[in-house]
Amino acid sequence: MNVLGLFVPGRSVLHRLPAGAKLLGLLALVTVLVVLDDHRAGLVATPAAALACLAAYPASGLGLRRPLRLLLPLLPFLAVIALFQTLTGDPRAAFRVCLLLVAAVLAAGLVTFTTRVSAMLDLFERLARPLAPLGVRPDRVALVLALTVRSVPMVAAAWQESRDACAARGLPAWPHLTVVPVIVGMIRTAEAMGEAMTARGVD
Amino acid sequence: MIELRDVSHAYGDRPVLRGISLDLTEHRIGIIGANGSGKSSLARTLNGLVVPDSGTVRVDGRDTRRDPRAARRRVGFVFSDASTQILMPTVAEDVALGLRRAGLTADETRTRVDAVLDRHGLLDHRDHPAHLLSGGQKQMLALASVLVTKPDVLVCDEPTTLLDMHNARVIERTLRSLPQRLVLLTHQLDMLQGFDRVLVMDGGRVVFDGAPDEATAHYTALMDARAASMEPSNQGERA
């Protein structure tokens, strides 16, 4: 898995659901879990939601490695939150908040893994249409979002190149040595991408 | 037809095109020249990416200054670095991007995208992240993304520069097989075999315009003379 190779082709129910329905479902799930005031209800509903989200991965043909990889970077934060909540005398809250985060990340992952970027763009374009009278161009909103997503691996590659260049010259990858080449490289890339957009008629 | 009349252009105080007049009607046209000779700037005027400071460029009678979008619809452009031309996360989505304003249904778009991906050996990668493709596949994707819009003319600015020999050959064969008119900028002179016309550029001017063999001979002689003038012994003589 990588940052942008997120969509996994498939024909599951989740794959066939419209992007808007999935985003609404995600919003509803997270909202309900957050506002559940009753501790006892929360202690049942939150782990149930997390388990249901986890179970949805293999059911959608996504396997179990993807959700585990998603959760791995979250572990240090969960540990800090759990420690803090336990020390402040509320271990049940620690349990609930951590599982809430797990459920939210897993649910968000489900949406991302089963939705094409183009479907998301179409949705954002539709959502931005009411703003058109205010001068907002919906197609541009969608394009900016797409380019933002596309730029992530480019920045990562530029960063790695800069670090490699330092290493090749026997220098440690200190931020003051790596940041400037990355910024200059990204500005040049942005200019080239702008030119490519114009050439492809999507300006 | 693409007509250039007395086209001049400068970046700041550095002139890059000087009074160029051409009628580009042939099916396969090559443009060669040293770095900084103005060939990329000339290519960019052909689809309105660069609007010249003076003079006119017309694509099928339409002035690129007045209607650059019409020029771009007719003239597709492929850059040497495919990575910057790929704008969407996955292969199919990138090809489909150029069709967003074509008024096609989702099924029509998919059919057209799959057809062009299939033709260029990328159908198996349709849902793959575009940035994870090999250099050759990225250049093929950049080409497919332009060809899906069905331009009449294709301008390729050194499309094989960043590729190994195998991938360069694949791109070359693909370009030769296209029905579109082709304007190819390249440093690989063997790619120009069989072309109808080759322009040699130097100092912002077209200094030779003719058949491939004569053009490459002219260019080689020009570069040999320039290299000789840069040799330390000659520089010493000048000093």
The string of DSSP codes covering B40-77 is HHHHHHHTTSS--SEEEEEETTEETTT-HHHHHHHEEE
CA distance A29 to B73: 45
pLDDT at A161: 85
What's the burial of A31, exposed, middle or buried (CB within 10 Å: 0-12/13-18/19+)? Answer: exposed
Report residue B209 as tokens.
């315009």
pLDDT at B234: 66
Domain limits for position B82: 2-238
pLDDT at A58: 95
User: pTM of the entire structure?
Assistant: 0.75
CATH of the domain at B61: 3.40.50.300
Asked if B102 has any chain A CB less than 8 Å from its own CB, the reply is: no
What is chain B's mean pLDDT, rounded?
Answer: 90
Question: In Å, how far is A145's CA from the nearest CA of chain B?
Answer: 10
Count of structural domains, chain B:
1
Sign of CA dihedral B231, B233, B236, B238: negative
CA distance B192 to B209: 13
pLDDT at A2: 42
CA distance A17 to A14: 5
Q: Is the reported ipTM for this assembly greater than 0.85?
A: no
Question: Are B4 and B20 in contact, with CB atoms under 8 Å apart?
Answer: yes
Provide the pLDDT confidence category of residue A3 given band limits of 50, 70 and 90.
very low
Nearest CA in chain B to A1: B129
Gyration radius (Cα) of chain B, Å: 19
pLDDT at B237: 54
Cα–Cα distances in Å, from A33 out to A30, A39, B80?
5, 11, 51
Q: Over 70: is that where the pLDDT of B58 sits?
A: yes
Question: Are A149 and A49 in contact, with CB atoms under 8 Å apart?
Answer: no
Q: Contact A196/B85, CB-based, under 8 Å?
A: yes
Over residues B74-97, the pLDDT tens digits come to: 999 999 888 888 888 889 989 998
Asked if A27 has any chain B CB less than 8 Å from its own CB, the reply is: no
Average pLDDT of A48-65?
A: 94
- Tokens 């007395």 sit at which residue? B6
